[in-house]
Chain A
Amino acid sequence: MVWYIVRRFLQLIPVFLGATLLVYFLVFSLPGDATAAICGERGCTPAVVAGLREQYNLDQPFWIQYLLYLKGVLTFDLGTNFSGRPIATIIAEVFPTTAKLAIMALVIEAVFGIVFGLIAGLRKGRIFDSSVLVLSLIVIAVPIFVLGFLMQFLIGVKLQWTNPTVSGDATITELLLPAVVLGLVSFAYVLRLTRTSIIENVNADYVRTATAKGLSRRRVVVVHVLRNSLIPVVTFLGADLGALMGGAIVTEGIFNVNGVGNTLYRAVLNGDGPMVVSIVTFLILIFCLANLLVDLLYAWLDPRIRYA
């Protein structure tokens, strides 16, 4: 088990190198000169442009730029973005907010998705099942920014139950609405996955055996049916955590959340190479770790799975 984890961590090294190289190359190939974004509509004098290019190594060829960046990372110095702020500080500022938001969304989608999916699966074909299915279909079909703006307008502006935007403190109550919006689409998927899985397992032999043994229905459902049905759901949730961390650009934009997604979006617009690469690499690492966690959860959910 320990060896397995160590091996998985070692695998992160080539992933890290490959990802940074690829992303750095993509940012490098973006059309337009990064100093043009810094100088703005009025432009700068050639001397200032030259000074900026030197400061950010933009006058170096691609390989040198990349190696300089790598050197920085290995010495725990991510460098500064084009506003002259340390990238590590920026990530440390925005990451907690996004993590909070992503975990809230994950909890919401997991709890509601699994509970609703379980009930729907156990009462297959009944009114609750059908209405929940229709509802989830609508949620999946409507684009997330429509849902976002709609809920912001109804709940934030019309009913005034909460502020339409999130303040700098990003408290749990403020993040509730964006988290619901963020979790909605995945909630629909979790619900459908759970439902299908439950329906499959309810008729399995071991469930009949368990019932025949005289176990209570509650124990049969929770320990035998649900636990075995959760494997596909856990796979989905693990992948979704990574997606929620980096893919919340739309939701963070609508609710003005100062998180990873917004920071990444701004960095891309400005062609801020080091910033983009650092954030994307960071996200990749989180994605890999989330996957590792999922793999370990498998073993817990299904003892037949062993890691050596």
Chain B
Amino acid sequence: MRFTRTSKMLSVAALAALSLSACGGGDTESGAEGGNTEAVIVVDGSEPQNPLIPTSTNEVGGGAILDLVFAGLVSYDADGKPQNEMAESIETEDAQNYTITLKEGKTFTNGDPVTASSFVDAWNYGAAAKNAQLSSYFFESIEGYDEASAEGSTVETMSGLKVVDDRTFTVALSQPESDWPLRLGYSAFYPLPAAALEDPATFGENPIGNGPYKFASEGAWQHNQQIELVPNDEYEGPQAAQNGGVTFKIYQNDTTAYQDLISDNLDVLKTIPTSDIKNFESDLGERAIEAPYAGNQTIAVPYYLPNWEGEAGKLRRQALSMAINRDEITEVIFNGGREPAKDFTAPVLEGYSADLPGSENLEYNPEEAKKLWADAEKISPYDESQPLTIGYNADKGDHKTWVEAVVNNIKNNLGIEVAGKPYATFKEARTEATDETLTGALRAGWQADYPSLYNFLGPIYATGAGSNDARYSNPEFDQQLTDGLAAGSVEEGNEAMNKAQEHLLEDLPAIPLWYQVAQGGWSNNVDNVEFGWNGVPLYYAITGK
């Protein structure tokens, strides 16, 4: 028998349990479906970039921890369907005014009850400009957000939030938004105990939540090394822990983590490194997984670039899109680990449609591409002195290979000068995008915060939106988004969103390339590993063997 760290820890835990409950006689070792629910699961993580406060966390490393330590009004199941967590009910008649009732008897792990104020105070804290919370824009729909979040504002509360009693509060939005309840499972909307707001910096080191897990002890977050979580016995709900704890081991790179996975020192790896994409399925066999999730990859072509404005710019974008052989690139470079895009959102979302009018613009068609390019030439000739570049950041993620493939596609099919443009760091690329000083196209990836079509459209393509790198502005598109949000139901809303997408498919402010697929794997020590709608494993459901 080969001992791994997990099994060693396990046997120590089992021994301790045995000696403590020697006369109990109960057998808790084997749980549902033959899995061992006492096992501590070791998974890969990355160092949270900020104190673990829901509204100041905007990256996956901290997000994964928060999602286990906290529970919001709703949570998402594996398919992204919202299910009630703290909420008893979320009611509205006009999609603008919501009454939220909480379940009875829910507590934080320090014993404080989860009340209406836990939510309202946390949201106000997140929105107020003086707290400079990174995720503050998530509250933008709530009435009074503009006053609280304006630069230099001293307003600390949003007028749209009102506590009715301990278990009830009301939310007034500044406009009707039918998909607003869908957002409530996102980490920015988690409740906070009173202690958090008194001293956020200290709280962020040892957060106290109401979720399925809690910190193993004070200081369980060993920076850049690991974060140790144990089940929260008080928690009752859909995400109840099926294991004896989850330890996030922090890796500097995926390649290293992969070595630990194949030697059974790591139980779950959520991203296979690019260098092992070709062999991970043969290395892991049954233990390899490919799961599509709500994310995509696009290339944004800014409208302020010469050559790319007006009618000619539109034809050229269409020509670019049709010159890219998505099927070939996803097959050859990603070994099938990406899915060619058919729209601007992602297939795992409710309301997704693969055959929207205009989606033919995303199909490989070199003849038509040449023709469109020639048509554009007639309107205004292409200025050869400013050839197109496709920018990507070279520090994180392996973008070089596919960008080069796309560049070659375009070169060969349109006969124009194109080149990949690496940025040394992510921030360098982002700064140019924010300052409107890009000199070419820029790759952009989007991963959903909450499972809704709008999350892929509003924040990226609405006029003046924060991530609108292309500086796209189309009043008809904006109008349809607003209509979609105001629709009476999520279904009607989705219909309007897809109508809005037809504009995008014609204008192509960004060229959708493919949908993301999580490629991961697990060790010989664990079972029941499943990936959720957002590409993150459902950690609570993993069992030992």
Q: Residues of B contacting A138 with CB < 8 Å?
A: none
- Does chain B have a CB within 8 A of A64? no
Contact string against B for A residues 253-264, beta-carbon threshold 8 Å, 1 for contact and 0 otherwise: 111101000110
B151 touches A33 (CB 8 A): no
> Looking at the complex, which of B67-75, B253-261, B322-330, B371-379 is the stretch in contact with chain A?
B253-261
Known contacts A36-B434, A41-B445, A168-B225; A47/B151 CB under 8 A? yes
Q: How far is the CA of A55 from the CA of B130 in the complex (A)?
A: 11
Q: Residues of B contacting A43 with CB < 8 Å?
A: 430, 434, 466-467
Q: How far is the CA of A30 from the CA of B2 in the complex (A)?
A: 49
Please report the number of residue pairs spanning A and B whose Cβ atoms sit closer than 8 angstroms. Answer: 158
Beta-carbon nearest neighbor of B459 in chain A? A42
> Looking at the complex, which of A83-91, A108-116, A291-299 is the stretch in contact with chain B?
A83-91
Q: Say which residue of A47, A82, A266 sits within 8 Å of B129 (CB atoms).
A: A47
Contact string against A for B residues 44-86, beta-carbon threshold 8 Å, 1 for contact and 0 otherwise: 0001111100000011000000000000000000000000000
CB distance from B305 to the nearest CB of A (A): 20
- Does chain A have a CB within 8 A of B154? no
- Does chain B have a CB within 8 A of A153? yes
A157 touches B427 (CB 8 A): no
> Looking at the complex, which of B132-140, B471-479, B490-498 is the stretch in contact with chain A?
B132-140
Contact string against B for A residues 69-97, beta-carbon threshold 8 Å, 1 for contact and 0 otherwise: 00000000000001111000010011000
Q: How far is the CA of A255 from the CA of B445 in the complex (A)?
A: 29
Within 8 A of B (CB), among A151-165: 152-153, 156-157, 160, 163-165
B49 touches A262 (CB 8 A): no
CB distance from B289 to the nearest CB of A (A): 21
Which range holds the interface residue count of chain A? 35 or more
- Does chain B have a CB within 8 A of A143? no
Contact string against B for A residues 20-41, beta-carbon threshold 8 Å, 1 for contact and 0 otherwise: 0000000000111110111111
Beta-carbon nearest neighbor of B148 in chain A? A47
A254 touches B256 (CB 8 A): yes
Q: Residues of B contacting A40 with CB < 8 Å?
A: 58-59, 134
Known contacts A32-B425, A163-B260; A51/B132 CB under 8 A? yes
Tell me the dominant secondary structure on chain A's binding face: helix
Within 8 A of B (CB), among A31-63: 31-34, 36-48, 50-52, 55
Q: Residues of A contacting B137 with CB < 8 Å?
A: 44-45
Q: How far is the CA of A99 from the CA of B431 in the complex (A)?
A: 37
Known contacts A32-B425, A269-B395; A47/B265 CB under 8 A? no
Q: Say which residue of A37, A52, A85, A168 sits within 8 Å of B427 (CB atoms).
A: A37
Residue in B204, B263, B424 whose Cβ sees the most chain A Cβ within 10 Å: B263
Beta-carbon nearest neighbor of B444 in chain A? A41
- Does chain B have a CB within 8 A of A246? no
B201 touches A47 (CB 8 A): no
- Does chain A have a CB within 8 A of B92? no
CB distance from A265 to the nearest CB of B (A): 8
> Taking beta carbons and an 8 Å cutoff, which residues of A are in contact with B?
30-34, 36-48, 50-52, 55, 82-85, 90, 93-94, 149, 152-153, 156-157, 160, 163-165, 167-168, 252-256, 258, 262-263, 265-266, 269-271
Additional A-B contacts beyond A37-B426, A167-B225 (11; CB < 8 A): A33-B431, A36-B427, A38-B49, A44-B137, A45-B136, A45-B149, A94-B224, A157-B262, A157-B263, A253-B253, A271-B425
25 contacts between A and B (CB under 8 A): A32-B423, A32-B425, A32-B428, A38-B134, A41-B446, A41-B447, A42-B58, A42-B466, A43-B434, A44-B136, A45-B136, A45-B149, A47-B129, A51-B129, A55-B132, A149-B255, A157-B262, A160-B2, A163-B5, A165-B259, A168-B225, A253-B253, A255-B256, A265-B252, A269-B426
